[in-house]
Amino acid sequence: MAMPENPPGKMPSPTPVTIVVSAPDVGKRLDVCVASHISDLTRSAAAHLIQQATVVVNGDPKRPAYRVRAGDRIEGRLPPPLIVQLEPQPIDIDILYEDRDLVVVNKQPGLVVHPAPGHSSGTLVNALLYHCPDLSPIKGEIRPGIVHRLDKDTSGLIVAAKNPQAHSRLTAQFAARRVHKIYLALVCGQPAAASGRIELPVGRHPTDRKRMSTASRRPRAAVTEWNVSRKFPGLSLLELDLKTGRTHQARVHCAAMGHPIAGDPVYGGRKAIRQLPRPVADLMRSVARQMLHAWKMEIFHPRSKEVMHLEAPIAGDMRAVLDSLAAVRENPL
């Protein structure tokens, strides 16, 4: 729950901000530029202010992705900061790496990443606050330290910053697409080719606000490259190289290519089970979530700037499914 930093009745006025773009910032996204000039303001918070026209350029509203030019005058009034009050909870999590700047977790399926309506506790953030006492909340955010996200039922790698400086630098990497991410997805069917590329825009579904779609009214460019790692009767294990990071991108793109992720209740992965061979279909009916795992990631350390090669072991439930499928009958490529 977010509470005002100041007592009721003593709320400060919005803080005026003026930034005149100079050479070092020319060409940057507007949200990245604003966040880099304002202490403790994250890129996502800056983007929200820009979308609300609370921050304007030369007196005109712009999109967060606007590339700033030399001499641009960025002006706005920042609302009073909020302090996030969250309860640390002793939730078991698999910490793969930790130092004074960041923590890397192999998130288990079923764990919500950050508090939201209906999930005010029992989240990864609550767990991080317990296991990492030096993790600093980021002002203006309800998910302190989180620089990217995974769906509740997707397992695998997730990175959290432990201080505002690390948060800003990691967030900028994701925004600039400098982070390399590889997912593993068990999909229904067997692609005709051994590899391919999906280049379909992804945005909010035109009628169902809880879903994403390649037929959105406001789509954003999305690219996924894939290759077949293993084949099973009626199923394939794909390695997905996400070149962009759109919400539900892997799930939407797999469904769009006619091979929904097995167990996916939203994008057809459960209905497709009916078409599988009998022994495999019987096995897959017990699958409780989409078989999607954030497997590998390459990022630059926010302090040393060295490349970090991260890898998360496949979650136990997905590993058990793959082992069972191999026992049924594996088809070599």
Active site residues per annotation: 151
Best CA proximity match to 126, nearest among 142, 139, 149, 140:
142
Rounded CA-CA distance 170/106 in Å is 18
Alpha carbon 84 to its chain's center? 20
Q: Give every CB contact of residue 55 below 8 A, 6+ residues apart in sequence.
A: 17, 30, 34, 46, 49, 74, 75, 76
Q: What distances in angstroms separate CA 87 from CA 40, 125, 135, 262, one per listed residue?
A: 21, 9, 13, 35
267, burial (CB in 10 Å: exposed 0-12, middle 13-18, buried 19+): buried
- 121, two tokens: 């506790």
Strand partners, 212: 204
3-state helix, strand, coil in the chain (%, to 5): 20, 30, 50
- 169, two tokens: 């630098």
In degrees, rounded to 5, the angle at the alpha carbon of residue 67 between the alpha carbons of residues 64 and 70 is: 130
How do 307-311 and 292-300 pair as beta strands?
antiparallel
Helix (H, G, I), strand (E, B) or coil at 122: coil
Alpha carbon 192 to its chain's center? 29
